[in-house]
Structure formats: C-alpha cells, structure tokens
Chain A
Amino acid sequence: MSAKHSSLIEIETPVLRPGSDGQTLFWMQEHAFCVHLNLRGDSSSSVFSEAVGAVTGTAPPEHPNTCVSSEHCRLAWLGPDEWLLIGVHEDFGPAPLEERLAPLHHALTALSGGQTILRVGGENWRNVLASACPFDLHPRVFGEGACAQTVIAYTNVLLMPVEDPDRGEALDIVVRRSFADHLARWLMDAAAEDGFEFLSPVGSP
C-alpha cells in the first residue's frame, strides 16, 4: 500500500491566523480519505431499501435534502434516485452492499478519491460561508438531519450540519477533489478578517 495524499496537499496545516482584534472565529479541518460511495437505485422498491438498510443500518432517506446516520455510515439524499454514502470507518466498503443489490438495477460507485470533506466551525462560520454561498444556513432552516447541494465560491458542494465531538456545532462540506484547494483558499481569505485556524487533517494516509 503506497502513500495517500490529501487534496489539500498544497495547503500547510496547522495554521493559526488571528483576526484584526486577535480573535479566531473560524476553524477548518479536512476529513480526508473517507469512504465515499455514490448510490443510485429505485427507493420505491422495498427490496432496494431493505438491502441498503441491511448493510448500512438505515434506509436511504426519501425526503429531499435530508440525511441520516447509522453506526456504519451517513447517507445523504442527492436526488430522487441518488444518495451519497460516507463510511464512518475505513473498512466500510462497497462489496457487501454490491452483493445485496446485485439482482437490482442500481449503480454503486466509489468516489473516495474524488471528493473530500472540509469540516468548518467556529463562532463565525456562517458568515464566512455567506461570503460566497447563496444558501440559507440559519439553524432554523438548516439544522440537524438536513443536507443541501449548493455552491460556495462557484464550486459545487454538499453541506451537512454536524456535531463535531471536540468542537461542537460544525458543518461538513463535501467537495470534489479538484476544487478542494480552491475552496480552502477562498475560506482562508474570507475568514481572515475575524481570524481562522486550519487544523491538521483527520484521516490517516
């Protein structure tokens, strides 16, 4: 097994850059090398939902722009027949699900190399994102269990509110690998006024 490299290879971490008044109101941490699987199938088929449920521990969410979590993975709604599965552990692989879904018309596609998660938080995270994200991030309309596909700084992203075990309220930004560097640089720039900290990535190569 050779070394893996994160998509933020050109951005040095950790870096702490307090804002004009010495404050640090934004943090970002990449969760690299997670297992990302794109799933397409017919959720109106009970066989499909049961197969997904049996392997992931939860049926795929049918309500638009919602996500669910189990002990194995998170499942985010992307479209009426499309979901993103993000494994909680490294060993969450496609094989068991592929086996259960084999008789059905479906597509289970590995995207682990193609996207990464930038987790952001801090007192000012909503304002930092609002510099370039037209989506309403207010907790009243975008809270736990929601997900949204939108853009930040002209980059397609999937957003999922999360509770970071160490740092509290946070947001996971799922972004394509090729755009991750651009997005991180934009966030760094947008967060500069009120200070930011970029932590070392989570996820072992």
Chain B
Amino acid sequence: MTSARRLQSGGLVDRSRRIRFKFNGRDYFGHPGDTLASALLAQGVRLFGRSFKYHRRRGVVGAGAEEPNALVQVGEGAYSTPNLKATQVELYDGLTARTVNGWPSLAFDIGAINNRLSRLLPAGFYYKTFMWPKSAWMRYEHHIRHAAGLGRTPSLPDPDQYDKRHAHCDVLVVGAGPTGLIAALGAARSGARVMMVDEQSQLGGSLLSAPAVIGGQAGLDWAGEVEAELRALPEVTILSRSTVTGYYDHNFLSVNERRTDHLGPAQSDTPGSRERLWRIRAKQVVLATGAIERPLVFDGNDTPGVMLASAVSTYIHRYAVAPGRSGVVFTNNDSGYQAAIDMSNAGMEVRAVVDVRMTAGADVAKTVADMGIPVYLGYVVPSVQSGLQGLKRIEMAKLSADGRAILSHKGLVDCQVLAVSGGWSPVVHLHSQSGGRPCYRESQACFVPGTSVQDERSAGACAGSFSLAACLQEGADAGVSAAAQSGWPGGYVDIPVAVERDEAPLQPLWEVPAGALAGDRVKKFLDFQNDTTASDIRLAAREGYRSIEHVKRYTALGFGTDQGKLGNINGLAILAETLGKSPGEVGTTTFRPNYTPVTFGTVAGRALGEQLFDPVRKTAIHAWHVRRGAMFENVGQWKRPWFYPREGEEMHAAVNRECLATRSSVGVLDASTLGKIDIRGPDASRFLNLLYTNNWDNLQPGRCRYGFMLGEDGMVMDDGVTTCIASDHYLMTTTTGGAAAVMSWMERWLQTEWPELKVYLTSVTDHWSVMSVAGPNARAVIKTAGCDRNLDAEAFPFMSMQSGEVAGIPARISRISFSGESAFEISVDANQGLALWEAIMTAGRDYDITPYGTEAMHVLRAEKGYVIVGQDTDGSVTPVDLGMDWIVSKKKDFIGKRSLSRSDTDRPNRKQLVGLKTQDPSRVLPEGAQLVNTPQAERPVPMVGHVSSSYYSAHLGHSIALALVKGGLSRMGGTIYAHLMDGSVVPATICSPIFFDPENERTKS
C-alpha cells in the first residue's frame, strides 16, 4: 500500500499520522486533513462509482459540494449514511465507505448493459414506457429503484442525537473565503453581533485551494490573522463544518452544523449532538458563497480522469495529491491555466493547454510558456479514449470560428488527467432562495445575483467578481455597510493588496462539436449523476418542451443529490441555443432549500419520543394517577387517566367495574383538564347571550347553566357549564380540547366586533384543580372529608355552586353532573389539588370510592345521552339535529342564529342524534360504523348515518350506541342496519339517546 500520488511536501495534511479506512472492502490510509476523495486519489484510486442510469464508470470530478459522481455510503449498521460526497467526507480512524452504485461490484456492474442500450433509453423513457399497463407501475417501480440504487437507508433506529439552536445576529456572513473573512472583519469591528458560517473544516475558502498573496503574505496566513482577530471579539460567532442550507422570509436562514461526523460515530456516551440545526434571524446578510467551476461538454466528458481544473488545483495545493502522472488542460478562460501551472509544479507532465479562444490572458500565457507547456489556441477536446481505469488519451481538434464545427483533427495526446474549465457559475442559490432573481451576465457567461429582495447583498465570486482584489474590495464594502445598516456604523477594514492579473475574457462554448473519432454513440454529459446528456435536452426541445422547469423534469437534469451544481447552467444554455434564445431568456430553474442534503435527524432535533415530541400537560393529580397504575389517554396535549386497571384486569373489566361502582356507590374523576375562562365586567351576561344559544339574563349568582356555542355556520362548536359567581362575574368551562380555541374565539369577538362590551377574559384552566365526586354516596364522602356547607339537595340544589371548604381547603363546590349521578364538582387552587384528592380518597374508603377514567366517563354520559362535542358532532351538526331545540332561544340573537334558518339547516331529514340498541344485546357496534336501511339493496347501498359513540353498559346490561341518522327523530322504534368492515350486518333498533334516568331523578337527588 503506497501513496503513489502524494506529493512529498506542501498541502494541509499531516503526514506524520496515518488514518486507516476501508473503501469497497479494501484497506487504505490517509492523513489528518484528507477527505475520503483526496486519500483515495493519493493512493491511485480513479474509479469512484457507477452512474445512475447507464452504470458508466465514474471518477471524482470536483472537490466539494458540487461533486456528482463520488457518492458513498459511509459507516456501518445504524451509523450508516448514504449518498455522502467523498469530496466532503473527512477521514477518521476506522471509516468504512462503499460506493452507492455498482452491482455486484464496482468494477463489474451488470447494469452497465444499459450503456449499450442507451439508444433505447432516452429522456422520458420511464414516462413513455412504464405508463402501460397502469396497474403494473408498482412492480416496475420496485425494479427501477433497485436498478437505480442510490445508497441504502439504515434499517435500525438512528442512535445519534441531534439538536437545534436559535440565533440572532446583526450581520450574518455566509462563507469564509477571502470575501467572507474580510466582510466579517469589517462588520465585527463595529461591535455588531456577527456570525460567520462556513461549510469547510477550516476557514479560508478558495485560499485553501490555490496559492495567493494578500497584503504581502501568504493567503492562508492572512486568513489565520483575520480568524484570530474575529475569534477574540466577544460578539462574533464562527461556525465551521456548517452549511447555510436555506434562506427564508424575514432574513431567516437555516444552518446545518456537522459537529461530530469528522470524528466518526459513537465517540462517547456523553450527551451531545451529532448535528445541529441553527435557525438564524439576521438583520443583514452578506453572501460570500463563491463560485463553482463549470465542466465543458464533449463526448466522454464523464470519463474518470476528467476533472474540474479548480479541483485539480485543490487536490494539489490543499491535499498534496497529484491526481495523475500526466495532464492536459482544456479551457475557455484564463483560470484553467492555473491547473496547468499547478500540475507542472507538482511534477506532473503537462502535455498541452487546449484553449477554445484565439487569445489568452497575457500573464497566464507567459507563465505557461515559460514552463514549456504547449498551448493550442482555437482548439478543443472533442472526445477522449479510456481504459478500465479511466482516461488514457484525448483527441485534439481545431474549432471553427463560430464554434459549431470541427475544422481539422490534430491528433491524440496521452494523459491521465484532463483538467477542464468552462468558466464559473456564481453560487446564487441563497440569493435566489431569498427571493432574488439571478440575471444573466453576457460578458462572463454566468448568472449573477439580481436585485436584493431581502436585507442581503452578495460579494466576491458569488456576485461574479472572480479576481482576488475585487473579492477583498467587495467583501470589505459589504461587511462594513451591512453592519452600518444593522445599526453599527463603526466598522472599518484596510483592504490588503492582492495581485491583479491581466485577463482575457472567457469565450462561451456550451457544447463541443463531435470530432473525427466520434462513433455512433456520442455522449456529452451535462448532469453526471442522472446521466442527462446534451442530446436529451435537444430531444426535449424537439418534443415541444420550452420551459427550463419542464425540461428539467423531463430529462431529470439537476435532480440528483448534487442538485445540478455542475450541469444545470450548461443544460439551460444548450436549451437556449436549441430554442434560439439567450440563456438569460431561458432563465434558471428554481433554487430551493436545502443547498446540500440535511439529515432527517437534524430536522427532528430533540423533539422525539413520548417525552419531548410534544408538550405533555399534566394535572396536579397526575402523579397520583401514575402511582395508581392508570392507563392514560391523550386529550389534546393533556394526559388523562383512561382507566385504572387492577392487577390482571382487562380494559373492559376495569371500565365496567368503574361504571358500576359509580352508579352503585361513588366514583371520582379528575376533571381538571376542562378549559376554564373567567369572565368579568358589567356586560358579561350580554356577551354570554351572544356566544351561547340559550338565555343568560336570568341566571342568578350561585347558579350554573349548560350552553352550546355555535360557529357562524350554526354548527355546534363547543359546550360546557357556565357558573354565575356574581352579576358581573362568570366562570365558563369548555371542552378539554377546545379550550384555547374558545378563548381566542371569544377574544376575537370582543376585540373586533364588540369592543364596546365591557368584558375581560382570563384563562384560569391551570389554576383550578377539579374533581367530580359522583354516585349515591358522593354526598356522604364529602361530608366525611369535612365540608362547611349544607350539602342536602334542598339546600344545595342541582346546577348550583357554593364557596366553602372541603377537607380544610377553600373550594368552589358545584352540583354539576356529566355522569347522570348525584355529583359534586369540587374546584380548588391547583397547588392543593393533590391534597384534596387524597383527602377525598381517604374519606371515601368506607364507601369503596373508585377513581374512574375517561372511558368510564364516556360510558356514563352516553347512558344519559349527553353528547361529546367532536365525537357525536363533527362540525356539521346543529343543536336541533341533536334534539336539543330547547336550548336554542327564539327571543335573542347569538352567533350562528341566522345559519339555523338556512334552507339546508332547516330542512327535514337531516342527520339527527338517536340511540341504538343492537338486537343482540351483547353486540357492541364499532364507532364509525355506517348505517343503512336495507342491507340487500342494490349497490352502492345508500348510507343514512353512522355510529358516533358505542359502549357496553354494564349497568344496563346491554350495549348502547349514539348515532346520527337521517330523519332519526321520526324513526323511533324502527330498525336500522350497521354494515361492518368484515361484511357482516348488525340490526339495531332506533331509540331515544337517553338510556338511563330520563327524569333526572338521580342527578337532582
């Protein structure tokens, strides 16, 4: 095992330490500072993967986020992550990686047959072929997905932790290249709160990849000094290994920080997150995101060994890796020459610089000439030849003046590396996400940021300024002015001198014509990951596609995990040429978040599991329920005891026991979760009259009344009991789930429609602990606990409230019953709720007092025909439908009144609430069961209603159900049929929904 391609000196790798790792099962090593890609290149690996569709051999093209080919699955088991770019994976000891494509092996891939069949697999192939027969798509899809394969999702739960952090700053600088660094410095010196976010492991951006002199010192030394000053400032936050992935409204940006990926999985058991999602609200944003080099489009441009010129320079400078023994540069601009200089300096034999243009910049031309590298002006590389391990030689040919034809074949040049440069594409992604529209700059053949829509500005290469001097100037200006606009005018920075080169302009060449060696299978790739070729774009245009958004979807251009960072601009330019338009007229596809992929774990953060996913609201008595072994039910965010099973007891046995105990002796329910709204003011009763359907004028202090609240559509919205405490003071209760909505509903009417009403609302839901003591022995239990009020029925009638003390605790005692029993609801300051509950349980011991949960509560209330809003109603039910027209006042106005006389709400044969008794008394209908009149009728059988509540009533000895049935109130005694999922039909008799104590003798006793 050797590092054949590792240079003896230079680079930012630590040669003193070796890091061992596995790639496709083989052992390799690299050094600290390496990426997986650089370490493999250093050891002579050229083949990194297979392409998505044609399964062609692919090598590394880039050196960063733009890499389309070198996709790897890193890690094992639960720690496995698919589709990472080898160019971004930092090495750690024991890393294992495998290519995501290639079966059964990378070298021999059966799917490569697709390459031979490629003429049968044009753009849109899937759409055209697999649409017939329609029903087979599911089967096709399975095989297509297997054939495509882009990594494997781990099947085990993710063992890592993730978290989130909200942050605020005056100036956010995105990118820590020379532009970002000087911008951050200029801003930070003002005293502003500055955040700088950079995706690399080390600050410096392009300075890491290319030699530069800034202010007379080495570029990285300058960057180091700037970083040191920034880190010393208390209001500066620097995030490395962090990518700004999204730019949203109101200058809200998301950042994905990778905290431990470079250390490898499961570093320790200590708490700490693998990745962190930052949610940053910035007053001003400076985008310094740089630019990505474009490849050139020619036959075989996907051959391993064809790389971006800037990537070649990066591997040489940053990683001290010469990616081959010999190289050629193919460029249409000056920056490609740097790769020739770098390759030559790294000891590679540089056989040619092939330049599309007739003139090169004087400075680079001279340097290259001095090094003895032959330059071919007006030439192109129309094709390449390759062996099993990638590039072997290139074809060189003379280009016609208009760039559309090959004039003559020059010959073949042997080389292992072809460094290509088709110009630069500014990274305008975030500008575009912020709402800006990138516009086409003809002179540089690239899209640059348009007018800012939010408080952001682009500086440096991402704004189309590619020279170092311009980057420093623009960065400094952007940083200082961003700080000033955020309210910190004191920023400053001296702009260090950087050498300006005499440059010749780029000459766009979107597609190289086929050369003399062209066979009949010319493939010029645009999107390497999805195997989209130039001919696919032209096919799409021929088939009538005009919009770049449609062409993208038809050809899959830019759909890969790299999101077309390399190929999109070339693709849209070729579409423009085909359509006879300019690239600016065609425009770009929409840049959407996220810039690079984000793990689901990061999005979830810590909001996971029973405990933290959503708030769990607990009553003051919750701990007691837990001790008692209660099973809980989620009601909104509340945990309510569902039933309290005894050891070995099934749910139904427990519920039956709880119901029977309450009917025969005494039960107790924690009712604290009901919404409670304190209503005060001289207009309180007027307000209640408007909210509720019934009349509230005559309710005396100390009395309670049940009410229905309707929406404007006349449908039941909420219900509850409201107590008059004084003529200007009421306490309203709402359903548990509806509390917050009712409170805002009431505030809305007060604030927007009836501001003249003198009413104040205060939510007191959490202040009161409420327990309902119900059953024939309820009164005796409370007396035993100690109560200073006369609890007898005459002195303390049903639907009244008195203040007093229970068990020495100040309490409001109400005679309200949702169980149909003689019941007392006791409300106390929640700090003493548990104390009261325990006192009641102690006092009730001789009466075998039984705590009951929401399930028994449901059964007890259903026996009485009491509805539950949201269960027996669904937003389409009026009080009249519920057979409760007695609660709807004819004399006054209230919200929803007009809707009750609409033709539809007023018509006969609406669905109405009825009771159902199954003809087999032990048969309990499933809730939601559909009801029909004649099960044998021709299909589709007309459905006339559904079961809304259904239980077995242990007290009555038969099943009971509530149902909404068309015209049900006029069908008492009739038969109806429940059609069940298993095909069976259960007959039931329609009856009154009140199954128990219709005279209310118990509740009043």
Interface residues of chain A, those whose CB is within 8 Å of chain B, are 1-7, 9-10, 19-20, 32-33, 38, 40-41, 81, 105-107, 109-115, 127, 130-136, 138, 140-141, 153-155, 176-179, 181-183, 185-186, 189-190, 192-193, 205
Contact = CB atoms under 8 A, between A and B. Distances in A.
B686 to A, nearest CB: 13
Given A5-B835, A106-B760, A193-B272, A114 B615 contact: no
Interface residues of B, number: 57
B165 A154 contact: no
A178 B619 contact: yes
Interface of B: prevailing SS: mixed
A154 B623 contact: no
A138 B829 contact: no
Contacts of A38: 762
B831 A33 contact: yes
A2 B611 contact: no
**Can you list the 7 inter-chain pairs with the closest CB atoms, starting with the nearest?**
A114-B767, A114-B766, A20-B270, A113-B830, A107-B760, A113-B829, A2-B835
Nearest to B165: A130
Contact of A3 (B678, B768, B835): B835
B39 to A, nearest CB: 29
A178 B618 contact: yes
Scoring B168, B605, B614, B839 by chain A CB atoms within 10 A of each residue's CB, the highest score goes to B168
B835 A138 contact: no
B927 to A, nearest CB: 28
B680 interface: yes
A131 B638 CA distance: 23
A154 B614 contact: yes
Interface of B: 163-168, 193, 268, 270-273, 279, 281, 605-607, 611-612, 614-620, 622-623, 626, 638, 678, 680-682, 758, 760-762, 764-769, 807-809, 828-836, 839
A136 B271 contact: no
Nearest to B672: A178
Contacts of B761: 107
Contact of A136 (B168, B606, B809): B168
A5 B620 contact: yes
A167 to B, nearest CB: 22
5 contacts: A4-B835, A111-B767, A141-B168, A178-B619, A186-B606
A124 B82 CA distance: 35
B617 A190 contact: no
The listed residue with most A CB atoms (<10 A of its CB), out of B607, B615, B619, is B615
A71 to B, nearest CB: 24
A157 to B, nearest CB: 11
A38 B279 CA distance: 33
B623 A9 contact: yes
A134 B845 CA distance: 50
A107 B839 CA distance: 32
Contacts of A20: 268, 270-272
Contacts of B614: 154
A155 B766 CA distance: 14
B831 A192 contact: no
Contacts of B268: 20
A105 B681 contact: yes
A139 to B, nearest CB: 11
Contacts of B807: 2
Given A131-B606, A132-B606, 9 more contacts: A2-B832, A5-B835, A38-B762, A109-B680, A112-B767, A154-B614, A182-B618, A189-B612, A190-B163
A3 B831 CA distance: 8
Nearest to B810: A1
Given A112-B831, A113-B831, A192-B271, A133 B166 contact: yes
A12 B614 CA distance: 22
Contacts of B638: 178
Contacts of B273: 193
A2 B842 CA distance: 14
A185 B623 contact: no
